[in-house]
Amino acid sequence: MHESKYPIVTHARDPRFLTLRSLQTSQGRSRTGRYIIEGIRHLARAVEEHAPIEFVFLDPSVLSNPFGQKLAKRLRQRDVSGIRLSHQLYRDLTLAAEPQGLGAVLRQHWTPLSETKSQRNSLWLAVESIESPGNLGTIIRTAEAAGVTGIFILGTDCDPYDPGVVRASMGSLFSQKLVRCSQHEFIAWARSNRVTTVASSPAGVMEWNTKPYATDFRRCS
């Protein structure tokens, strides 16, 4: 297999492994503008959505899935650089109970607020202070299913590139347009684009589907 030509890394202090480990932290992701994904489905979806894959890592001892092997070979033939990790080092990088032996490093992609325009009948989502990575990942997955055009990440508390978010999104992250801005910037954007906003809160006193809207959100899909 072509990916067997990737150099092997067995030591936890190897700089290449330390770089991968750093992407498990918010500081590492913020500093480099990169993030890490793991699993055949996630990597396949990243390829499908033309996500910017910069580096692959794999564990040949568990990469037994034929499709996963073909995917690794395909990336190698595209001259995507990578390494082979020992089984223990690979385990240290994954959240999966049963690792599939294939992962990658991708470049984060943020759409500048200045380049974000709202089209007629488009649907946008803004999230703020989502504490659980799993919850944020589920929201991103649901947003794709609902046909959301893009997601505004308000403030710095939410990190859509956290490994837990990426895993819970089930690949939906790669198809979403992400915009980072403050709450005030989002409000100004919505006003300038004449976007109707609907806010929800656990402390809200009104059921979301009892208020008349200009758009019937119950039919958005």
Q: Where are the domains of the chain?
A: 2-107, 113-201
User: If we measure between CA atoms, which residue out of 114, 110, 95, 101 comes closest to residue 71?
Assistant: 101
Indicate if the pLDDT at residue 61 is higher than 50.
yes
- How far apart CA 165 and CA 158 sit, in angstroms, is 10
| Percent share of the chain, pLDDT over 70 | 92
Indicate if the pLDDT at residue 211 is higher than 80.
no
Do residues 130 and 152 touch, judged by C-beta distance below 8 A? no
Across the range 81-90, mean pLDDT stands at: 95
Question: Topology of 2-107 in CATH?
Answer: 60s Ribosomal Protein L30; Chain: A; (3.30.1330)
| Percent share of the chain, pLDDT over 90 | 78
Indicate if the pLDDT at residue 216 is higher than 60.
no
Indicate if the pLDDT at residue 17 is higher than 50.
yes
Indicate if the pLDDT at residue 198 is higher than 90.
no
pLDDT of residue 220: 47
Q: Given phi > 0 = left and psi -120 to 50 = alpha, else beta, which region is 155?
A: left
pLDDT of residue 141: 96
Question: Topology of 113-201 in CATH?
Answer: Alpha/beta knot (3.40.1280)
Amino acid at 184: H
Across the range 169-176, mean pLDDT stands at: 94
Spatial CB neighbours of 91, under 8 Å, sequence gap ≥ 6: 99
pLDDT of residue 214: 55
pLDDT of residue 212: 62
Higher-confidence position of 43 and 213: 43
